[in-house]
Structure 1
Amino acid sequence: MRYTLIELHTTDAVATITLNRPDKRNAMSDDMRTEFIDALEKVAADRSIRALVLTGAGKGFCAGGDIAGMQRRMNAPVGEVGFNGWQRQQRVHRTQALLHTMPKPVIAAVNGAASGLGADTALACDFILASEWASFTWSYVLRGIVPDGGGMYFLPRRVGLSQAKQLIFTGRKVDADEALALGIVDRRTMAASLLADAQAWARELGSASPTAIALTKTILNQSFERTSHDVFAQGSQAQGICYTSSEHRAAVEAFLARSAATE
């Protein structure tokens, strides 16, 4: 697929996806979502890629849903609104699930406003690095709708249930400093070095065994909903897979060689 609304580049085993509608503050249109899904699937399947950075072109990270899409939804025949909405939600959830379950580390490099679906998209990543221009708002309630990009799942896990309710019920804007204090953001940096810092962090996070990282991430993503027994069981199965991986064998052989050399 030829991309026009996103950019995908890979350097030193780190893929960078840039949402590329700067004139619309990277609002997510149906066409952009199609390209985004395709790019995420490619990154997930490419074993040479060890980590992913997601950012936005221009001054914004992602302004949420596209206004033109909202207008089409409002103008649809009454009898089609429900099913059209359901179909759209399937695509939204597919996109967010691809980010959340990506079998490698994912960093959102938030360069500006992340609003509504844009804020949820940042939360679907494993880590959030924000510049001084970053801001977050779960503005759904101001449009009479609920967070549909995972905010009701991800936000309480970062800031606690009560704080998540306050942010979602009011739809107020949170700047980079407050976002860091609340735990929405993991790290803060300057805009001039945001992308380079995110890519360096991604290289660090993706430098270990891809097999171990993918399996560990899968289990950790489910750990709040599972019992300790389930997590131990999943861990045992994952460890069995790791024992057979080429990364484990190479690491053990290198360790044994170093030990023998010091005896």
Structure 2
Amino acid sequence: MSPFLQIEREDGIVTVRMDHPDTRNALTTPEQIQEFVDLCAELRRDRSARVMILTGNGSAFCAGGNVKDMHERAGIFAGDPYELRNTYRDGIQRIPLAIYELDIPVIAAVNGPAIGAGLDLACMCDIRLASTTALFAESFVRLGIVPGDGGAWLLPRIIGIPKASIMSFTGDAIDAAKALAWGLVEQVCTHQTLMSEARSLAERIASNPGHSLRLCKRLLREGQHMRLDSLLELSAAYQSLAHHTQDHHEAVSAFVEKRKPDYLDK
């Protein structure tokens, strides 16, 4: 089978397209999972990368798990309960951990339905933009299962417990307009302009020093589970590092001299 992820790099922006449109980009094989994990590991080492855009080719963003495999108890859905538990732990659950630990900002450009694990994948990203054709469903309950890849942790932190409960308990899909009203996405675009809007946002992010982007994202992540006093201590440590970078001095000089800064990621 062809690679699941198409990866393009330009000016610090990494554009990643899920490219199995015939399955609506269903995320269900060990190989697909490994591609995500390997990509995140590579980007953590790549100091030139500043922002990532994740989208899907074809009509869907990601249709989640392959229901045909569930029906046949095949692939990642095979085995007894103990085997299945380990398949989840050693398989798809590696994706939220890998993306969560990724230091650069991640934008989801949701071009179509994001269903089940597809919605959870969008929620793993820092910012979500949606096409008017997008649909979102935390649909596990309709298949008699539960969110197995972090959705029960991710979704409530984005839209709150009551709305996450409605989506999780009913399995109902919501359209892009409701997703915007509920705070699940930050912007709704036409299908034709989605990627240009995502690219524009990525360019604004990538125009900043890479080290400060990574440190800022880490503070936002750590702030989700730290006390204020602990976060302030971490902020002071990160700030002391940032103040002694060449890019900080370049940013200040460029501001004073009213010119465009030239960052070196140093």
TM-score (normalised: structure 2): 0.89
8 Å contact from structure 1 (residues 8, 39) kept in 2: no
Residue 134 of structure 1 contacts residue 175 of structure 1 at CA under 8 Å; is this kept in 2? yes
CA distance in 2, matches of 1:12, 1:75: 43
Q: 2:118 & 2:255 partners in 1: Cα distance?
A: 44
1:252 positional shift: 2.9
Q: Which moved more, 1:230-239 or 1:43-52?
A: 43-52
Q: Which residue of 1 aligns with 2:104?
A: 104
Q: Partner amino acid for 1:142?
A: R
Match of 1:225 in 2: 225
The one-letter amino acid paired with 2:236 is S
Count of residues in correspondence between the two structures: 255
Deviation at 1:35, TM superposition (A): 1.6
Counterpart for residue 149 of structure 2: 149
Q: Residue 132 and residue 75 in structure 1: after superposition, are their counterparts in 2 closer, same or farther (change >3 A)?
A: same
1:8 equivalent in alignment to 2:7? yes
Structure 2: tracts of 5 or more residues without a match:
259-266
Matches of residues 123-202 of structure 1 in structure 2 within 5 Å? 123-202=123-202
Aligned-pair distance for 1:69?
Answer: 4.6
Q: Would you say the 8 A contact 1:104–1:206 is kept in 2?
A: no
Normalised by the length of structure 1, the TM-score is 0.90
Change (3 A) 1:186 1:22: same
- Report the CA distance between 1:68 and its aligned residue: 5.4
Residue matched to 2:116: 116
Residue 263 of structure 2: aligned partner: none
Q: Deviations over 1:205-251 (max 9, x none)?
A: 22212111111111111213211101101101111111222211222
Shift of 1:75: 4.7
Instruction: Name the aligned partner's letter for residue 135 of structure 1.
Output: L
Q: Given residue 222 of structure 1, which amino acid in structure 2 is its aligned partner?
A: E
Q: Which one-letter code corresponds to 1:156 in the other structure?
A: P
Distance (whole Å) between structure 2 residues aligned to residue 75 and residue 86 of structure 1: 11
- How far residue 89 of structure 1 moved from its aligned partner, in angstroms, is 2.5
Mapped contact 1:131–1:190 kept (Cα < 8 A): yes
Q: How does 1:207-222 map to 2 (within 5 A)?
A: 207-222=207-222
After superposition, what is the alpha-carbon deviation per residue over 1:19-67, rounded to whole angstroms, capped at 9, x for unaligned?
1110100001222112222222222321112110000110000001133
Distance 1:218 1:238 in 2: 10
**Aligned pairs (5 A) from 1:9-24:** 9-24=8-23
State how far apart, in whole Å, the 2-side matches of 1:35 and 1:153 are: 23
Aligned equivalents of 1:75, 1:49: Cα separation in 2 = 37
For structure 1, the residue ranges without an aligned partner over 5 or more in a row are: 259-263
Q: CA RMSD in A?
A: 2.0
- How far apart in 1 are the matches of 2:255 and 2:120? 42
Q: Distance in 1 between matches of 2:232 and 2:38?
A: 34
Q: Structure 2: which amino acid aligns with 1:95?
A: I
CA deviation after TM superposition for structure 1 residue 149, in Å: 2.2
Q: Percent identity?
A: 32
Q: Please state which structure has a larger fraction of its residues in helix.
A: 1
